[in-house]
Amino acid sequence: MAAKNVAQSRLDTATLASLDQKLAMAKRCSHEGVLAGAKAAVVATVATAIPTLASVRMLPWAKANLNPTAQALIISTVAGAAYFIVADKTVLATARRNSFKNQANIQA
């Protein structure tokens, strides 16, 4: 019975190490996604803010219909969409890349 407990503890240790490695990899994937999403949100904010603010100054329709709340909503919607799209794609790409690395290590 003692041998069975020793074997189980070795298995549990290997499982815990594997889980810790997977958790570290998931944290790294999500961190890369957050950074890429934040960069995309900054770029999208600038790329949207310039034409939106310029159009409000130059176009009579935009001046009459786009109050400051509408302008902020346009800019923040584009920034939020860019963040989530880029972050999601980055996390998936990183996870896929790490999955292929793990399969290569298992087969080797």
At 19-62, the pLDDT tens digits run: 888 888 889 889 999 999 999 999 999 999 999 999 999 999 99
pTM: 0.74
Q: How far apart are CA 92 and CA 32, in angstroms?
A: 10
pLDDT of 22 reads 83
User: By residue range, what is the domain housing residue 75?
Assistant: 28-107
Which pair of tokens denotes residue 1? 């019975």
Q: What is the CA radius of gyration of the chain?
A: 24
In a domain, 4, yes or no: no
Residue 11 lies in a domain: no
Count: domains in the chain: 1
**Confidence band for 12, pLDDT divided at 50, 70 and 90:** low
Is 102 part of a structural domain of the chain? yes
Half-sphere exposure of 90 (CA within 13 A, CB side): 20
